Structure 1
Amino acid sequence: MSEMRSFSGNGKRILFFGRTKCDASETLLRKLVRYGFDVTYVKSKSRGEKLPEDILWWEGEYILCFRSLFVLPKVLLDKAKVAAINFHPAPPEYPGSGCINFALYENANEYGVTAHIMNEKVDNGEILEVRRFPVSSCDNLSSLLARTHSKLSDLCSDFISDIYTEGGKLIDEKISSSNHEKWNGEARLLKELDALQTISLDVSEEELKRIVRATYIEGYPPKVEIHGFKFYLNQDKS
């Protein structure tokens, strides 16, 4: 079961979803509490875990999701009287899972982060803001992931400040200023990322380098499958 904590305040009621072992989640939580918001905080550990049973009793003004692994039900999203906002670690060109991996695999020269309204579909709601930044040919999964998480944290932090100072009018202003931004197709699924991480036995050297750049990270390396056995890549750092 995921962890849930409450912090009483005199300000707007915010349901904040973060992630376990994420320093940025804790930093953002401290900012919410410091600003006097009435905060309910839920941390996710892994995909597929259940929401706390008491969460459906929550009512308030905002839901904020930062690196959360939960897909929230519509009945909960509807309880946010002003807005339910997700901070997506990719630009609208990459909805769903494995965004950063596919961007690297496709040799994208630009990446980004997105704040958007949540609905019952994944990465589908109205876009509030997109922040883009360049991708270098020297970037790998680790370096781009670190930069993306930093930019995502900055985006969420700025939204917290704006909610505190501007209130509900912020949402309409953000939607209006970002109405040129559109999601690109359906959200990618985890099985598509798994397929990208599975190396064909007849892979070319060039294709292998693309896959390794896009998917290799400590603890989650790409793999080869032979007769039901899986062999994982171990990069030689000598």
Structure 2
Amino acid sequence: MRVVMFGYQTWGHRTLRALLDSEHDVVLVVTHPASEHAYEKIWSDSVAELAEAHGVPVVTRNRPDDEELYARLKEADPDVIVATNWRTLIPPRIFQLPRHGTLNVHDSLLPKYAGFSPLIWALLNGEPEVGVTAHLMDERLDAGDIVLQRSVPVGPRDTTTDLFHRTLALFGPITVDGLAEIASGRTDFTPQDRSAATFFHKRAEEDIRIDWHWTAEELDRLVRAQSAPYPAAFTHHRGRRLEILAARVSEQRYGGTPGRIFYREGDGVVIVVGPDARSGRAHGLAVTRVRTEDGRELPAAEYFTTMGGYLTERP
């Protein structure tokens, strides 16, 4: 089939690579310009460079809503559009243009975690598995009929970085296999259960600020969700920003006030946490590695030379 691809960052790069290696003919690529957004500067393999290296024409747009692009798409005469990690609304006149519509490839198990940063949100929420969905695009974001869906388990100490690499490996195969389903003439794809749908916003600075009233289990997941190269979860100590790079749920239970720097446990320093911290029935968060405001990374046991004092949300 003649394929136009809308794609961006490493997800788009991996998808385009699979399409170029397939039996399909990639006739045009549409991608976003490079971004300075914290979450778009990482996993930023260039879709444009890969397309140009293979002689595929490239159009760069923030939003695909102008007449010039529409004319280019009509001229390309695609059988199908493939969209991967496209960050803005694709209007109906474009996603309905190809004979077989538009196949969107999204890194969540839809209908849950539509929208942005699905792997981070899923890990934060303790999901047992994550995955990738190939679905036909319609007027609602990430809501069209499911062509294929594949999942991978979430391990007890997995980070978002682990899940990124595990799900990235699914993008090429699910795209090519999804196109095979469409080319076969199938139309009986699976409607999404909209009663189970959830939609998440982009991650921002406020989303990685540590609230010591969260439980130790929730904070452990937050630290693992914000694994490098994602921006690290942070707090403040003595008025200065302190990033928490590694932590775990404490072995013992600790009581007191949330944020209290309390006790050395193995190679970690336990912070009192939780909405019911004063009861002493909850585990603390054993912080094991930190990064200071001036960029120094060091074990928490070296940074916290004495116990006492508090970690706070604000300076």
- Tell me which interval the TM-score lies in, with the shorter structure as reference length: 0.7 to 0.9
1:169 maps to a residue whose letter is G
Q: What is the TM-score normalised by the length of structure 1?
A: 0.75
Deviates more, 1:87-96 or 1:119-128: 119-128
- 1:32-75 CA-to-partner distances (Å, cap 9, x unmatched) read 5xx25252112234479244853211133211012332321222
- 1:12-40 CA-to-partner distances (Å, cap 9, x unmatched) read 432111224564134124135xx252521
In 1: Cα distance, 2:130 partner to 2:16 partner: 25
Deviates more, 1:96-105 or 1:46-55: 46-55
Given the superposition, is the C-alpha separation of residues 231 and 70 from structure 1 closer, same or farther in structure 2, using an over 3 Å criterion?
farther
Is 2:114 the counterpart of 1:101?
Answer: no
Instruction: Identify the residue that residue 2 of structure 2 maps to in structure 1.
Output: 13
1:167 maps to a residue whose letter is A
Instruction: Identify the residue that residue 27 of structure 1 maps to in structure 2.
Output: 17
Is 2:165 the counterpart of 1:152?
Answer: no
Q: What is the TM-score normalised by the length of structure 2?
A: 0.58
Compare CA radii of gyration and give the structure with the larger one.
Answer: 2
Instruction: Identify the residue that residue 88 of structure 2 maps to in structure 1.
Output: 70
Asked if the contact 1:201–1:224 (Cα under 8 Å) also holds between the matched residues in 2, the reply is: no
In 2: Cα distance, 1:70 partner to 1:157 partner: 23
2:15 maps to a residue whose letter is S
Given the superposition, is the C-alpha separation of residues 74 and 222 from structure 1 closer, same or farther in structure 2, using an over 3 Å criterion?
farther
Is 2:204 the counterpart of 1:189?
Answer: no
- CA drift of 1:159 comes to 2.5
Structure 1 residues without counterparts, runs of 5 or longer: 1-11
1:104 maps to a residue whose letter is L
Would you say how many aligned residue pairs link Structure 1 and Structure 2?
215
Is 2:225 the counterpart of 1:214?
Answer: yes
How many percent identity over aligned positions?
A: 20
Asked if the contact 2:5–2:16 (Cα under 8 Å) also holds between the matched residues in 1, the reply is: no
Given the superposition, is the C-alpha separation of residues 194 and 94 from structure 1 closer, same or farther in structure 2, using an over 3 Å criterion?
farther
Asked if the contact 1:62–1:80 (Cα under 8 Å) also holds between the matched residues in 2, the reply is: yes
- 1:162-184 CA-to-partner distances (Å, cap 9, x unmatched) read 16xx62613x14x0xx34x5253
2:175 maps to a residue whose letter is C
- CA drift of 1:205 comes to 4.0
Given the superposition, is the C-alpha separation of residues 51 and 223 from structure 1 closer, same or farther in structure 2, using an over 3 Å criterion?
farther
1:155-174 equivalences under 5 Å are 155-160=174-179, 162=180, 167=183, 169-170=185-186, 172-173=187-188
In 2: Cα distance, 1:155 partner to 1:143 partner: 19
- 1:161-209 CA-to-partner distances (Å, cap 9, x unmatched) read x16xx62613x14x0xx34x52532421126x65542222555544321
Instruction: Identify the residue that residue 110 of structure 1 maps to in structure 2.
Output: 129
Instruction: Identify the residue that residue 49 of structure 1 maps to in structure 2.
Output: 62
In 2: Cα distance, 1:225 partner to 1:94 partner: 30
Asked if the contact 2:120–2:160 (Cα under 8 Å) also holds between the matched residues in 1, the reply is: yes
Is 2:238 the counterpart of 1:223?
Answer: no
Kindly indicate which of the two structures has a greater share of residues assigned to helix: 1
Cα RMSD over matched residues?
3.1
In 2: Cα distance, 1:126 partner to 1:83 partner: 12
- CA drift of 1:145 comes to 0.9
Instruction: Identify the residue that residue 125 of structure 1 maps to in structure 2.
Output: 144
- 1:95-146 CA-to-partner distances (Å, cap 9, x unmatched) read 1112111211122112221111112321111222211222211311111111
In 2: Cα distance, 1:131 partner to 1:56 partner: 32
Deviates more, 1:108-117 or 1:64-73: 64-73
Q: Which one has more relative contact order, counting CA pairs under 8 Å at least 6 apart?
A: 1
- CA drift of 1:147 comes to 0.5
